[in-house]
Amino acid sequence: MIYQGKQKIWSDYQKEIPDDHWFYVRSCIRQNFFPASEKYFLGICRDMLGKDIYETEHHTTCGGIAYHSDTIPQETAMTIVARQFALMTEAGYENLVASCITSFGNYTETLETWHEFPELEERIRENLWKACRREFKKPRYVAHASDLIYKFRGEIAARAKYQLVDRESGEPLRVVEHIGCHYSKMFPHKGVGGAEYPCVLSGMAEAWGGKVIDYPERRHCCGFGFRQYLVKANRGYSVSNTHKKFESMEPFHPDLIITNCPGCPYFLDRWQYVISEMTGKTYGENGYGIPVLTYEELAGLVLGIDPWDLGLQIHQVAVEPLLNKMGVPYDPETKYLGLDRKDIMKPGLPTFLKCC
Amino acid sequence: MAKKLRKKYISSGPMPVPKWENVLVVGAGIAGLEAASQLLSLGYKVTLIDKASYAGGHVASWHKLFPDRTDASSVITGLLSSIAGATLLLSTEILSVHRLGEGFAVVLSGGETLYFKAILLATGFSLFPAEKKEEYGYGVYNQVITNSDLEQWFNEGNDPRINDRKISSVGFVHCVGSRDIKAGNPQCSKVCCITAVKQAIEIKQHFPDAEVWCFYMDLRLFGKKYEDFYISAQKDYGIHFIRGRVSEVSEAIDGEVIVKAEDTLNGRPVKIKLSLLVLMAGIISRNDIQPLAEDLSVMMDSDGFLLSRDNITGITRSQRPGIFYAGTCTGPKTIPESLAEARSAAIDIHNYLRGL
Amino acid sequence: MIPFGFSLSPSSVTDLDKVDTRRYRELLRLEPGAATCIGCGSCSATCTSSAWTGMSVRKVILGLQRGRDVEVDAMLRGCMLCGKCTMVCPRGINTRNLILAAMRISKEDGK
């Protein structure tokens, strides 16, 4: 591996990320899977760094899941996107930041499509006007929330309470970074670092003390693939793809996986349980799995936020081995207590995957 | 008819040759050298310039030439000995050109302004920058080199990417940046298939125990004795040929590279670990040719190479009187083709000057 | 196991590092011409039994190169040794000898 070679490629794929004033659009599913990720994204950007990030309750789904599972046509998806742009325009913003990779891909794809086919943009404007009497300006910049955290990685590192370093050995933690396919595989120039060697997550991991693992199936899909998972008959392909990734990363003994997509961490996390039930195999140390975190969760841990406030107890794979390595304190007794100290109940235990 | 023609030719007698005319040959690669030599023997004063500090162009850095494994250096030495009467200006570029009467006033980077009656462009080609195919990891993985790097190693033997590891398996990727619309080069580079076969045999001679694999889209081996060379590679050297384009390259934990392709004849994907991967970077048009072309008012073809008056009967003629082409400035060519074209261009220039 | 209703799919990838090519190497010893196959398919196109049995000299050679011994054995059983493939092979491979050699190797393997 020639690190300078990667840096050279990265320098070709630097996108402009404005410093402030963002219109934030949430993900449909992340608040269920990773309940505190979006909260702490706002916490980091607004409260810690004092940025202006606006969101509105009128925002809806971007239609990405329906679009990518072939249940709505592109024209419908683009009209939904146009409505979000209208909300942004009405609120007086020009920079759009999406929490979800598929939304980011959807917004980018829509803008690129309009760029190539301006007549389509006109038709969508007409559709939107007929549907809800709204008008919009196109955003000047579209970013994914991980782009912002990447941009602010230095500020986060400067305030870090914990490092991605094994407290006992002093060695950097081995980090697998997994980029959502819709981040830069469609439009390499829209992602930090391009499609082959994206650096949006590796940049965070390195800034916070970790060491990124370059394993052979690094570019491979997490296994979600929309129709692969959504149609039950295809679900075997979904888990097989995830299995392929784990088999490939296993020899590198990763300490954690960091992701920037709603689907990837979900599947990389939950499928570890399914694979263990199917094959009896686990991929972490001592029967545990490999903890899978969103970039906001990882930023939160680094900044010293309580792991249970970050919602890490919702993960299938136990995060305790990672917390122990980083030296992050946690109270096992409060793991399954909600914010109001209400018992949220302990989950059942898998056959093979050690969970606590 | 034939008799009549012959009579006419004889009766008109030999035409007087204008021996005082100056001809400028741009590019001292094999085509430029050969054309200069022919023009000299026809009685012209020849000035031969090259941007590089050495003569011989790409061939000068090559080791052996297909199909007879001729020494590249012997070809250059032979050509250089035949241009003894020419003015050879190395490290010299054209600064500007002005049409003056029937000729050209040319300002050279050395500061001198010279007058020429005809200009021959033998400006050659660029090798496709292999790092542009990011998925192959040239410049990112130590195990990935180009055809040109390998020739240099055959010549000098000091490339750590080859010397510092045990070479047990070697792959050749055909068509890197050739026949690749996305890379901007739809043209076939013509010489890479046979070069890959040649280099595969040479690698096998250096490392007899290594398994050698060629990954090709089509094998385009068209020249004299090329097929014999191919059969010998299969039969005498046991080189494996897989019909399938390499899709991506990644690094394995043991420092080898993992290559993925489809074994299309078998209808299945394949993967293999290799200690060395050689990318057959193709012939593309020179990226710096445009300013010169504009200065001379010659046009470029849709493939970026210089536009000939006619691709069948007038390949050595530009659309401007007094400006001629030879060699790979009009498209990928083998060495014998370039040499033949250089001779043809010399005759073309001779006829042109005689008719002025 | 928990009845998920789906399972891990077997991979179709040929891992060239793990393929057992012992049979192919033995074939090369008995019929070196096998190495010069260019996969043109003339042999299969002209084969008397191909349409009924799936026999294909091209696929026999490729199958042995990729360690697909079971499929090769099934194909070989379809050959009637008529020799038409020998007549059409542009590389002049002695396909009769090749087939007999492949059958002998297969028989010695006891498969």
Q: Do C13 and B238 touch (CB under 8 A)?
A: no
All domains of chain B in start order, with CATH:
2-124+286-354 (3.50.50.60), 130-282 (3.50.50.60)
Q: Could you report the per-residue pLDDT of B251-280, keeping only the tens digit for each? A: 999 999 999 999 999 999 999 999 999 999
Residue B269's DSSP bridge partners are: B262
Please indicate, yes or no, if residue C6 is contained in any of the structural domains: no
- Of the candidates C33, C6, C9, the residue with the CA atom closest to the CA atom of residue C102: C33
- Chain C partners within 8 Å of B273 (Cβ): 17
Position C103 confidence tier, pLDDT thresholds 50, 70, 90: very high
Q: Do C2 and A277 touch (CB under 8 A)?
A: yes
Please indicate, yes or no, if residue C11 is contained in any of the structural domains: no
Find the CB nearest B248 among A5, A219, A251: A219
Domain count, chain C: 1
- Chain B partners within 8 Å of A195 (Cβ): 134
Please indicate, yes or no, if residue C10 is contained in any of the structural domains: no
Please indicate, yes or no, if residue C99 is contained in any of the structural domains: yes
- B with C: how many residue pairs have Cβ under 8 Å apart? 40
The CATH number that applies at residue C100 is 1.10.1060.10
Closest B-chain CA to A188: B134
- Please tell me the distance from the alpha carbon of residue C103 to that of residue A336, in angstroms, as a whole number: 66
Query: C92 CB near a chain B CB, below 8 Å?
Result: no
Please indicate, yes or no, if residue C8 is contained in any of the structural domains: no
* Pairing between β-strand B45-49 and β-strand B87-89 as defined by DSSP bridges: parallel
Please indicate, yes or no, if residue A12 is contained in any of the structural domains: no
* Pairing between β-strand B257-263 and β-strand B268-274 as defined by DSSP bridges: antiparallel
Please indicate, yes or no, if residue C28 is contained in any of the structural domains: yes
Q: Could you report the per-residue pLDDT of A123-162, keeping only the tens digit for each? A: 999 999 999 999 999 999 999 999 999 999 999 999 999 9
Closest A-chain CA to B272: A216
Q: Do B271 and C16 touch (CB under 8 A)?
A: yes
Query: C29 CB near a chain B CB, below 8 Å?
Result: no
Query: C13 CB near a chain A CB, below 8 Å?
Result: no
- A with B: how many residue pairs have Cβ under 8 Å apart? 41
The CATH number that applies at residue A110 is 1.20.1050.140
Position B1 confidence tier, pLDDT thresholds 50, 70, 90: very low
Please indicate, yes or no, if residue A187 is contained in any of the structural domains: yes
Query: A218 CB near a chain B CB, below 8 Å?
Result: yes
Residues in chain A where the model's pLDDT stays below 70: none
Same domain, A209 and A128: no
* pLDDT number for residue A338: 83
Residue type, A73: P
Detail the DSSP E strand segments found in A18-127. Answer: 22-25, 53-54, 95-98
Find the CB nearest B265 among C12, C35, C62: C62
Q: Could you report the per-residue pLDDT of B108-147, keeping only the tens digit for each? A: 998 999 999 999 999 999 999 999 999 999 999 999 999 9
Same domain, A206 and A326: yes
* pLDDT number for residue A9: 86
Model pTM score: 0.92
Please indicate, yes or no, if residue C54 is contained in any of the structural domains: yes
Residue range(s) defining the domain that contains residue C37: 22-108
For residue B24, the tally of other CB atoms under 10 A from its CB is 27
Same domain, A95 and A184: no
Domain count, chain A: 2
Q: Do A236 and C1 touch (CB under 8 A)?
A: no
Q: Do B253 and A252 touch (CB under 8 A)?
A: yes
Residue range(s) defining the domain that contains residue A68: 17-145
- Chain A partners within 8 Å of B139 (Cβ): 2, 5, 8-9
Q: Does the pLDDT at position B2 exceed 80?
A: no
3-state secondary structure B305-341: CECCCECCCECCECCCCCEEECHHHHCCCCHHHHHHH
Please indicate, yes or no, if residue C66 is contained in any of the structural domains: yes
Please indicate, yes or no, if residue A69 is contained in any of the structural domains: yes
Return the partners of chain A (3 or more C-beta pairs < 8 Å): B, C
Same domain, A205 and A279: yes
Q: Do B251 and A216 touch (CB under 8 A)?
A: yes
User: Percent of chain B, pLDDT > 90?
Assistant: 90
Same domain, A138 and A266: no
Closest C-chain CA to A231: C6
Return the partners of chain B (3 or more C-beta pairs < 8 Å): A, C
- Chain B partners within 8 Å of C12 (Cβ): 268-269
Same domain, A176 and A291: yes
Q: Could you report the per-residue pLDDT of B156-196, keeping only the tens digit for each? A: 999 999 999 899 999 999 999 999 999 999 999 999 999 99
Same domain, A131 and A182: no
Same domain, A187 and A330: yes
Query: A96 CB near a chain C CB, below 8 Å?
Result: no
At B11, list the tokens: 């009766």
Closest C-chain CA to B237: C35
Q: Do B270 and C16 touch (CB under 8 A)?
A: yes
Please indicate, yes or no, if residue A265 is contained in any of the structural domains: yes
CB–CB of B303/B283 below 8 Å? no
Position B20 confidence tier, pLDDT thresholds 50, 70, 90: low
Interface test with A, best of B250, B257, B258 (most A CBs within 10 A): B250
Q: What is the mean pLDDT of chain C?
A: 94
Q: Does the pLDDT at position B18 exceed 60?
A: no
* pLDDT number for residue B6: 42
Q: Does the pLDDT at position B10 exceed 50?
A: no
Please indicate, yes or no, if residue A346 is contained in any of the structural domains: no
- Please tell me the distance from the alpha carbon of residue B305 to that of residue A231, in angstroms, as a whole number: 50
- Chain C partners within 8 Å of B268 (Cβ): 12-14, 66
- Of the candidates C52, C53, C54, C76, the residue with the CA atom closest to the CA atom of residue C64: C76
Same domain, A271 and A137: no
Position C1 confidence tier, pLDDT thresholds 50, 70, 90: confident
Same domain, A81 and A53: yes
Same domain, A183 and A317: yes
The C-alpha angle A117, A104, A76, rounded to 5 degrees, equals 50
Same domain, A325 and A176: yes
- Chain C partners within 8 Å of B265 (Cβ): 39, 58, 62
